[in-house]
Structure 1
Amino acid sequence: MTNLTLNRRAVLCAIGAAGLGLSMPALAGTGPLMQVVKDPNCGCCGAWVDVINEAGFETEVSEVPYEALVRLKQESGISEEMASCHTARVEEYVIEGHVPPADIRRLLSERPDAIGLSVPGMPWGSPGMGPESERDAYAVYIIRKDGTTEVFTAYDAA
């Protein structure tokens, strides 16, 4: 029979480890639910979803044929100039492309009268598109309900 001696440090470590195990699922996905629609052939979209999940958002991902994704963008008010590779919805807003989590949180905090945010195209170094330390300059645009756009956040090249 093994003689087990518990000291105060061992008990505190065990309690802490048990509490950490319980709190991790609670911390994952504590942000609002984001519904992401993407083309099944696009890997960078999955990388962006990983970044969004790491930032605390809960996600549901749907893969649809390219034609259906284009139709969704049009129905959501995303012009061809603002389009990117995936479209998401969080609360009442549309998120188009590789928008950083901080900008999504700012949008949800400020609650402007807008369709949502877009990072047109797929700029290198934006979330899910390669290392931020090598990023190209890019802008996050706010899309107003009348279809006009303006820069929401500008990111300089690294």
Structure 2
Amino acid sequence: MNTTRRTLLNLLGLAALLPLGACAGNIGKPMVEVWKSPTCGCCKDWVAHMEANGFIVKTFDTGNNDMRARLGMPVEFGSCHTARVGGYVLEGHVPASDVRHLLTEKPKALGLAVPAMPIGSPGMDGPEYKGRKDPYDVLLVQRDGAASIYRSYR
């Protein structure tokens, strides 16, 4: 085999591996599906927070309320976006560190919720809030709708 042909075959072989290499960087990164309004800036900021913390995020710009109901998250824990990751439901501005802890701990629960939209939570912490941080709780929500404090931010 001549040198030119061998070089060409080697290059083609390397090119065939490129898509695999691109996907390899995502191995071990949890996929989060998010249902949100297409115009909600804080939802976009929460998505950016999750991506910056190693999550792969797929967004759907419609159906937040419908998906919350379909996934069984009680309306009293509602916020501006609903997400699903690793078999759990996330409602609202849940910090990525708490999601990671949930996925490691694997409690028997529906998921986590940060009701309403507390200022200072991920996605609600932009410059327009001028550093303000309101206290809030991340709730562990059970399948029967009961909830307990998973983590407090004070």
- Bigger mean CA offset, 115-124 vs 128-137: 128-137
User: TM (normalized to structure 1)?
Assistant: 0.76
Counterpart CA distance in 1 for 2:100 and 2:48 is 16
- Bigger mean CA offset, 27-36 vs 76-85: 27-36
Q: Specify the code of the residue in structure 2 equivalent to 1:90.
A: V
- The match for 1:122 among 117, 121, 124 is 117
Matches within 5 A, 1:11-50: 30-50=28-48
Counterpart CA distance in 1 for 2:97 and 2:22 is 21
> What count of residue pairs does the alignment treat as equivalent?
131
Query: How far off is 1:134 after superposition?
Result: 2.4
Preserved contact between residue 52 and residue 101 of structure 1 (Cα < 8 Å): yes
Query: How far off is 1:51 after superposition?
Result: 0.4
The CA RMSD measured in Å over matched residues stands at: 2.1
Matched position secondary structure for 1:61: strand
Counterpart CA distance in 2 for 1:85 and 1:120 is 9
Preserved contact between residue 99 and residue 117 of structure 1 (Cα < 8 Å): yes
- Name stretches of at least 5 consecutive residues in structure 2 with no aligned partner: 1-20
Counterpart CA distance in 2 for 1:27 and 1:138 is 34
Name the structure 1 match of 2:153. Answer: 155
Instruction: Write the deviation string for residues 17-64 of structure 1: whole angstroms up to 9, x where unpaired.
Output: xxxxxx998656852111111111211100000000000001111111
The runs of 4+ residues in structure 1 deviating greater than 4 Å are 23-30
- Name stretches of at least 5 consecutive residues in structure 1 with no aligned partner: 1-22
Name the structure 2 match of 1:12. Answer: none
Instruction: Write the deviation string for residues 83-122 of structure 1: whole angstroms up to 9, x where unpaired.
Output: 0000110010011110000000010011000110000010
Counterpart CA distance in 1 for 2:142 and 2:111 is 7
- The match for 2:95 among 72, 87, 100 is 100
Residue identity over aligned pairs, in percent, reads: 40
Name the structure 1 match of 2:11. Answer: none
Name the structure 2 match of 1:80. Answer: 75
Counterpart CA distance in 2 for 1:138 and 1:63 is 26
Name the structure 2 match of 1:60. Answer: 58
